[in-house]
Amino acid sequence: MAATRRLSHTVAVITINHPPVNALSSAVRRSLVKEFGDADKDPSVEAIVLSGANGKFSAGADIREFSTSAFKTVPSLEEINGTIEGSRKPVVAAIEGVALGGGLELALACHYRVADIQAHVGLPEVLIGILPAAGGTQRLPRLIGVPAALDMIVRGSRISATEALQLGIVDEVVQNNTIEAAIQLARKVVGRPLDIRRLSAVPVRSPPSIDAFLDAAMEKARRQFRGARAPLACIEAVGASVKLPYSQGVAKERDLFLSLWATGQPQAQQYAFFAERGVGKWSLPTGGRWDTVPPKPIRSAAVIGLGTMGRGIVISLSKAKIPVIALEQDMKQLEQGSKAVNGLLEREAEKMKKQGQTAALGNGLGSVHFTVDFGELRDVDLIIEAVYENMKLKKEIFRRLSSICKPDAFLCTNTSGLNIDEIASVTNRPQQVIGTHFFSPANIMRLLEVVRGRETSLTTIATAMNIGKVLGKVAVLVGNCPLFVGNRMLGPYLDQANYLLEEGCRPEEVDQALEEFGFAMGPFRMMDLAGLDVGWRSRMEKGLTGAKVPAGTPTCQRGGTRYSPLADMLCELGRFGQKSGKGWYQYGEPGGRNAKPDPWVLVFLEMYRSTHQIKQRPVNREEILERCLYALINEGFKVLEDGIASGPEDIDVIYNNGYGWPKHTGGPMYYAATVGLPRVLEQLEKYYKANVDVPNMKPTFLLKKLAAVGGPPIKEWRTQLGNLSNKL
């Protein structure tokens, strides 16, 4: 049964029961109509409570149904909401767990709402490329006013029950027995007038100059969400709630939903949604399913190194209520690190207090103990080493851990590209060594690349993946190769960006093209933020800088491969990016954040071109995009060929969550599929022919193979990959 009904004296309790999240599928909708109809007709029923089974109200419409005919079957959710709101008997929503999207819209159609203190509510439709389309954009502004509603809808934010109470979204918050509290409230309000509780009939509270307000919101959303259409549609729909009567507002909402669907963005974002949930479920290319192996419980953890990464990891663990030992090499570093960590923890506690979580959950943070004594790590379940990227130092630490830590402790290394097997080789437990590549700042960024070594056991993989989940991250399992997946694919992308400068572009031109495509930051602004010196120092360590560039050679070469020394040259001049106040842009002062084009860079580029007799040529936006994006995508195919990622979805999840790739295009591999693989192949071949000294532009075997069969939909690539691994 998709929805059930029981009687509690004079109150009918209707319960949505559609595991795992009580999504409002067509079967649930039909069932709701029947149960409401029966409750309405039943003379012994004076009031109705609507709840969800298994401690969850509802996660909204069934996203899987959107692209099927089931979505269009009647009754629509908005029709059901109309029926509930119009009921002559008071209806109270009992919100436990989540009321999201259509789930919250359903609750807004009820006359009263009671929420459990641990519940969350929100309209996150925008995050899957659509807008609330069951009256949410019309009822929420009527309940809490336009500014607050617009903010929630455009950001798709989830808020706690306490915040919902403050905003007036729910009428009561209870510590426990939510359904019982809803039944009590339902009894209490029997006989009270319902008209003022019917949100569709309530006037909207809007700012005095609504047009200017909406224009400003539109302008901000265009800048912030670069190319994503759903936030703009949300603003338009909320605008309609002010300007149109409810029935027309809802019609507008429906039209906007349909026009969004036609852009292809919802399909891409919904692919990304399910890809995120799927990354935990694949088997290893080498055989063996880690997701069926139980993870070991982690009751305590330690972090070694309290630099930027280590601090963020400590905060993440503490937020997940895992007690942490934070270790530094000496008292001075420990003092600095502990001060920074304590500051961040205070901010977290403050945030939680605002959300009303402290009262319900005690302190809400796991304890952090600071030390310089390795001996204290003796009994810890899992250790994350987060010192700087230096193989010698990391090996030294792992040797030490190996002798100190209890035999079943897991040893993780936070590295963005070093060889996990080499690190594991110095320990007495290589099967318990694994890479955990966090992204900076680690307490905020959602992505975690979990890197399996040759000997890493399935239990270790399962435990590391589970820790990712416990920390609220999207953990993606990847293989061990230089730079793993994300950074490895970034290399060819950045190479192309540099070559484009050599050939005639300005940094801001390249950045603009990629930012208009939807990247949060173009490559040059990104490099300036990360610090150009990081790559430069690492290249110097490997003896890869200072390539001799014979004057008059049109492109610089290193070992027969094209190499752009531009970034090295900037570093030699002390231009490291934001931290030094100058890099590809100028920032006014060291640490400045406002990137301004720098005329000096143009002169520098002109001199470089003249030294190498490179004739500057105009490069259009299409070429900038194709060369940068297709180079990155081509490397993605290579990553798949090499078995470093188990499927294209994994790569997309990595890019969507760690590299600012615009989610509304689905991720690099999904984007390639929508462009058409034959087209991607054709363009790569063209650019490779013009630059045979750029090996990473040479189309990969897998791309060619998939293009040869017409570029199948992305969900079929795994089959082709299976066939391929038989051949390789």
Residues in binding contact with ligand 3H9, number by CB under 6 A:
24
**Of 126 and 706, CB closest to ligand 3H9:** 126
**Of 58 and 427, CB closest to ligand 3H9:** 58
Question: Please, what is the minimum distance in Å from the beta carbon of residue 278 to ligand 3H9?
Answer: 7
The verdict on whether 105 is a catalytic residue reads yes
Contact predicate 429/408, CB 8 Å? no
Beta bridge partner(s), residue 114? 94, 172
Among residues 400, 398, 440, 468, the alpha carbon closest in space to that of 307 is found at 440
DSSP assignment of 398-412 equals HHHHHHHS-TT-EEE
| Binding region for ligand 3H9 (CB under 6 A) out of 54-62, 160-168, 182-190, 492-500 | 54-62
**Of 105 and 508, CB closest to ligand 3H9:** 105
Exactly one of 3, 95, 114, 134 binds ligand 3H9 (CB under 6 A); that residue is 134
What is the distance between the alpha carbons of residues 611 and 422, in angstroms, rounded to a whole number? 42
Structural tokens at position 436? 């955990």
- The residue behind tokens 């490779």 is 688
60: contact with ligand 3H9 by CB under 6 A: yes
What is the distance between the alpha carbons of residues 510 and 424, in angstroms, rounded to a whole number? 41
Q: Which of 35, 65, 85, 125 is catalytic?
A: 125
124: contact with ligand 3H9 by CB under 6 A: yes
In single-letter form, the type of residue at position 307 comes to G
Residues 139-158 that bind ligand 3H9 (CB under 6 A): none
**Of 281 and 406, CB closest to ligand 3H9:** 281
Question: Please, what is the minimum distance in Å from the beta carbon of residue 64 to ligand 3H9?
Answer: 5
What is the distance between the alpha carbons of residues 575 and 585, in angstroms, rounded to a whole number? 9
Burial string for 321-344 (b: 16+ CB within 10 Å, else e) reads ebbbbbbbeeeeebeebbebbeeb
Exactly one of 85, 96, 125, 635 binds ligand 3H9 (CB under 6 A); that residue is 125
Structural tokens at position 470? 């416990």
- How far CA 543 is from CA of 167, 272, 540, 559, 564, in Å, comes to 59, 40, 5, 12, 15
Question: Please, what is the minimum distance in Å from the beta carbon of residue 704 to ligand 3H9?
Answer: 33
Exactly one of 13, 21, 50, 217 binds ligand 3H9 (CB under 6 A); that residue is 21
The verdict on whether 276 is a catalytic residue reads no
Exactly one of 6, 9, 64, 593 binds ligand 3H9 (CB under 6 A); that residue is 64
| Binding region for ligand 3H9 (CB under 6 A) out of 130-138, 147-155, 258-266, 634-642 | 130-138
**Of 125 and 502, CB closest to ligand 3H9:** 125
Please calculate the CA angle 126-132-137 and round it to the nearest 5 degrees. Answer: 110
Question: Please, what is the minimum distance in Å from the beta carbon of residue 475 to ligand 3H9?
Answer: 12
**Of 20 and 559, CB closest to ligand 3H9:** 20
Residues 220-279 that bind ligand 3H9 (CB under 6 A): 274, 277
What is the distance between the alpha carbons of residues 644 and 650, in angstroms, rounded to a whole number? 10
Question: Please, what is the minimum distance in Å from the beta carbon of residue 87 to ligand 3H9?
Answer: 20
In single-letter form, the type of residue at position 498 comes to N
| Binding region for ligand 3H9 (CB under 6 A) out of 15-23, 299-307, 544-552, 572-580 | 15-23
Burial string for 403-412 (b: 16+ CB within 10 Å, else e) reads eebeeebbbb
Stretch 71-110: interaction string toward ligand 3H9, x if CB under 6 A:
------x--------------------x-xxx--x-----
Question: Computed over its alpha carbons, how large is the radius of gyration of the chain?
Answer: 28
52: contact with ligand 3H9 by CB under 6 A: no
**Of 124 and 479, CB closest to ligand 3H9:** 124
Among residues 482, 681, 503, the alpha carbon closest in space to that of 605 is found at 503
What is the distance between the alpha carbons of residues 277 and 3, in angstroms, rounded to a whole number? 26
What is the distance between the alpha carbons of residues 530 and 660, in angstroms, rounded to a whole number? 14
* HSE of 218, CA atoms in CB hemisphere, 13 A: 13
Exactly one of 3, 11, 12, 23 binds ligand 3H9 (CB under 6 A); that residue is 23
Q: Which residue number is nearest to ligand 3H9 in terms of Cβ?
A: 101
**Of 32 and 694, CB closest to ligand 3H9:** 32
Among residues 397, 392, 429, 431, the alpha carbon closest in space to that of 413 is found at 397
**Of 132 and 479, CB closest to ligand 3H9:** 132
Exactly one of 20, 191, 560, 599 binds ligand 3H9 (CB under 6 A); that residue is 20
- The residue behind tokens 């390795």 is 374
What is the distance between the alpha carbons of residues 563 and 545, in angstroms, rounded to a whole number? 10
DSSP assignment of 232-297 equals HHHHHHHHHHHHS-HHHHHHHHHHHHHHHHTTSHHHHHHHHHHHHHHGGGPPPTTS--GGGSPPPP
What is the distance between the alpha carbons of residues 56 and 604, in angstroms, rounded to a whole number? 60
626: contact with ligand 3H9 by CB under 6 A: no
Question: Please, what is the minimum distance in Å from the beta carbon of residue 450 to ligand 3H9?
Answer: 17
128: contact with ligand 3H9 by CB under 6 A: yes
What is the distance between the alpha carbons of residues 118 and 176, in angstroms, rounded to a whole number? 9
- How far CA 262 is from CA of 126, 255, 265, in Å, comes to 15, 11, 8
**Of 63 and 256, CB closest to ligand 3H9:** 63
Q: How many CB atoms lie within 10 A of CB 638?
A: 21
Question: Please, what is the minimum distance in Å from the beta carbon of residue 98 to ligand 3H9?
Answer: 5
Exactly one of 133, 204, 513, 651 binds ligand 3H9 (CB under 6 A); that residue is 133
Question: Please, what is the minimum distance in Å from the beta carbon of residue 325 to ligand 3H9?
Answer: 28
Q: Which of 78, 85, 96, 105 is catalytic?
A: 105
| Binding region for ligand 3H9 (CB under 6 A) out of 60-68, 292-300, 315-323, 385-393 | 60-68
**Of 22 and 580, CB closest to ligand 3H9:** 22
What is the distance between the alpha carbons of residues 1 and 24, in angstroms, rounded to a whole number? 13
**Of 35 and 62, CB closest to ligand 3H9:** 62
Structural tokens at position 725? 């691994």
Q: Where are the alpha helices (H) located in 405-485, listed in sequence order?
A: 420-424, 458-470
Q: CB-based contacts of 277: which residues, under 8 Å, 6+ apart?
A: none
Question: Please, what is the minimum distance in Å from the beta carbon of residue 95 to ligand 3H9?
Answer: 13
Exactly one of 16, 59, 164, 324 binds ligand 3H9 (CB under 6 A); that residue is 59
Ramachandran angles phi, psi of 437, nearest 5°: -90, 100
Question: Please, what is the minimum distance in Å from the beta carbon of residue 22 to ligand 3H9?
Answer: 9
Question: Please, what is the minimum distance in Å from the beta carbon of residue 135 to ligand 3H9?
Answer: 9
Question: Please, what is the minimum distance in Å from the beta carbon of residue 28 to ligand 3H9?
Answer: 11
Residues designated catalytic: 105, 125
Binding residues vs ligand 3H9 (CB under 6 A): 20-21, 23, 59-64, 77, 98, 100-102, 105, 124-125, 128, 132-134, 136, 274, 277
